[in-house]
Structure formats: C-alpha cells, structure tokens
C-alpha cells in the first residue's frame, strides 16, 4: 500500500511535531526516495516537505531532542509563528471561526459569546495557544444553555483567571512580561495537575495541549 510520502508525490507533505517523528524519515526527506514495506525497489518522489514543531527548535537542538542533521535538512526556510499571547487581536477572529466550525460540526446554532467571555479570553495567557482556545470553545458548546456562550460555559481555569489577573501579575517578583507569563503558566500547570491527580494525559487534554508539550513545560518549570 502507498504511504503518505508516496501519496504526496507531485505535491506537498506536511509533517507536524517533527521532533516526535521516527528518525527513519531522515533519508526519505533528504533523498526524496522511499521503499514500500516488503517492496523490492526504490520509488523516487517529487515532493515539497513542510514541517512544524510546537517547541522552540534551538531548545530542542540544545537538549538533543531534535537531530541536527534532520533540522538542517528541513530548516531551509523558517517561519516563526507568534504565540496567541502575543496576538491578542486575533482572538475575536478565531472565536468567530470556531463558532462557525462547531455550529456546522455539532448542528447547534450559537450566534456569539458574551462580552465578558471575550474580555476573559483576551486576558488569559493561553499556554496551549490556538489549540487551547479551540478546546475552550468546544467545551462551551457542551455546556451552553442558550444561543450565546457565557462565563459559566467556559473551562474553570479560564473563568477563574478573570477574578484578579493583574493583582497576580503585580505580585510576581519579575522584571518582564515574558517572565510574568512564564510564572503564570507554571501556576496553571500546577493547578491542573492537582485537579487531575497528577495524571499528565488528563491534564494535557484539559489544557488543550499535547502530552509531549506538557512534559516539556513541566521539565522547563522543574515540576518533575
């Protein structure tokens, strides 16, 4: 049976979370040549490879969690995407997009979110970025009782943040916004792990991020 590489022949293949993939892909990426399982001949491909990682490549390289030879073969043109924390102006557009998506997917019509929900979304630091926002909207669809999403419908960790976010930031002994975000991210992870009895898979699901990313963040914040 033809695999993904062969199916992408003549087009583009997207490889997500490249640092978690099998390193046997290295030769296929470099030589654009594959062999089917059980096959007797090589198949030459004409493909363009686009890859992504949800972690900083320089950190992955320094911690030897991404092979240098693989990185230098795929990192020809690099595009750094800003975090949702850095693009708060995108939140309203993304919320509208996910409302349309889930209206069609769930056959439920929600015509918007209340203003205090949007304000809460814009204050929250979103450690899980867009995936966490999508998760929050989907959660709301499973709780909503009217045609508009309210604070009662969104995840508690996001709703609770609205209580006094600036008071918490001012209480931190940090000198920059980046440090404040890192400290708050640590607090969110600790609280979610406690709520999930230390279960990483459940905590990652509630935070809207992958297990690998949660483990990385736990190591970064010395929580393991």
pLDDT tens digits for range 125-173: 888 889 999 999 999 999 999 999 999 999 988 988 744 445 555 555 5
| 8-state DSSP, 32 | -
Q: Tell me which H or E stretch contains 44.
A: strand 43-44
Tokens encoding 78? 């690099």
Share of the chain above pLDDT 70, in %: 92
pLDDT reading at 6 higher than 50? yes
pLDDT tens digits for range 55-82: 888 888 888 888 888 888 888 899 988 8
Listed ranges 80-89, 110-119, 179-188, 207-216; the one with the highest mean pLDDT: 110-119
| 8-state DSSP, 43 | E
- pLDDT number for residue 174: 56
Phi, psi angle pair for 14, to nearest 5°: -100, 125
Q: Which residues contact 176 (CB under 8 A, 6 or more apart)?
A: none
pLDDT tens digits for range 97-111: 999 999 999 988 999
pLDDT tens digits for range 178-200: 677 778 788 889 888 888 888 89
Question: Do the domains 84-220 and 4-74 match in fold?
Answer: no
Q: Tell me which H or E stretch contains 28.
A: helix 25-31
Domain-wise residue ranges, the chain: 4-74, 84-220
Task: Measure the CA–CA gap between 70 and 21, rounded to whole angstroms.
Answer: 11
CATH 3.40.350.10 fits 84-220, yes or no: no
Q: Looking at the chain, how many residues does it have?
A: 224
In CATH, the number for domain 4-74 is 3.40.50.300
Residue with tokens 């935070």, as numbered in its chain: 207
pLDDT band at 177 (very low <50, low <70, confident <90, very high): low
């Amino acid at each position: 049976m033809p695999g993904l590489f062969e199916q992408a022949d003549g087009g583009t293949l997207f490889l997500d979370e490249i640092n978690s993939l099998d390193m046997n892909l290295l030769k296929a990426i470099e030589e654009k040549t594959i062999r089917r399982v059980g096959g007797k001949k090589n198949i030459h491909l004409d493909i363009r490879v686009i890859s992504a990682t949800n972690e900083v490549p320089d950190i992955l390289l320094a911690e030897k969690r991404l092979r240098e030879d693989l990185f230098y073969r795929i990192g020809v043109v690099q595009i750094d995407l800003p975090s949702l924390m850095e693009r708060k102006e995108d939140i309203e557009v993304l919320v509208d997009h996910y409302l349309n998506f889930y209206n069609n997917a769930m056959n439920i019509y929600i015509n918007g979110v209340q203003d205090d929900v949007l304000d809460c979304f814009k204050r929250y630091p979103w450690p899980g970025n867009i995936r966490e926002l999508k998760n929050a909207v989907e959660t709301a669809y499973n709780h909503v009782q009217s045609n508009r999403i309210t604070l009662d419908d969104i995840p508690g960790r996001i709703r609770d943040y609205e209580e006094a976010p600036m008071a918490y930031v001012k209480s931190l002994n940090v000198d920059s916004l980046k440090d404040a975000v890192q400290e708050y991210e640590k607090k969110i992870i600790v609280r979610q792990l406690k709520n999930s009895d230390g279960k990483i898979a459940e905590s990652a699901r509630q935070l809207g991020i992958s297990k690998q990313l949660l483990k990385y963040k736990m190591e970064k914040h010395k929580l393991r």
